[in-house]
Structure 1
Amino acid sequence: MSELTARFDLPLGAEAPRAARHAVAPVLHGWGYADEDWLHLARLVVSELVANAVLHGGGCLSLELQAHDGGVVVSVADGSAVLPTQPDPTSLDPARLAAGGRGVALIEAFGCAWGTHDHEGGKRVWVRLPEHPLTPGPGTAGVAAG
């Protein structure tokens, strides 16, 4: 499979996660990633990445999808250079958990790997999605994505 890339500029604020969820499924489906359970997981990961960027980032937001070598990586860039960290679960404040505070844990639970890169004075947080089941169909017969 050749590399496929899609980039989206996202609106700032609370509507960004919803906009991102609605943008990714048609693109991934069009690339042959049609399993509904897998697409649900992809939307969840994208939503969490974008929500974290809205809450903890700054500046413009952009979403990128890359499919290559049968795998899919989603990433979100924001204007903050502050890197995400996984808090120690034994020291979490219950008030913080009630207000969120589970972003990195969700990313680790649903992604295969994640990391960060410097991006234009800010950062890009990326997540490699789990392997996609075989998706037979027009233009994708015999292509195992994921």
Structure 2
Amino acid sequence: TFFKDGSFSVLLNVSLPLYHFGERSNKVRAAKAKLEQTRLEKENLNEQMLLELTQAAYNLDEAKMECQIADRSLEQAEENRKVSHSQYTVGLESLSDHLEAQALWQQAYETQVNAHYQLYLSYVKYKKAAGTLYQH
């Protein structure tokens, strides 16, 4: 019954793409754009790392100078305290002046401790920025 009058017809639709206009050039263009974007991101990160290293080096130099100033201040305060003590002992200086000299020495000592602590922190930040900070 399928071939009832002796004839039949078949409809077949075949689609074969012969050429995709511009598909390959679009892929190449997209890959080039992605490569350029990656290159620019790398360049930006390198500049940021260099800036961080430069700032860390500057902060380290500044902390070294602060330590030198704090060391000199402590030496001067120590000398002042000794002179004040000897003058107080012989009666040439009042107790309040002698206590003030001791307080100034204490402040100079505290400043020196803080300066050396900041120097250590600056050193650690510099080592981190340089990529040479290792954990054990």
TM-score bracket for the superposition, by shorter chain length? under 0.3
- Bigger Rg, structure 1 or 2: 2
Higher helix proportion, which one? 2
Higher strand proportion, which one? 1
Greater relative contact order: 1 or 2 (C-alpha under 8 angstroms, separation 6 or more)?
2
TM-score normalised by structure 2 residue count: 0.27
TM-score normalised by structure 1 residue count: 0.26
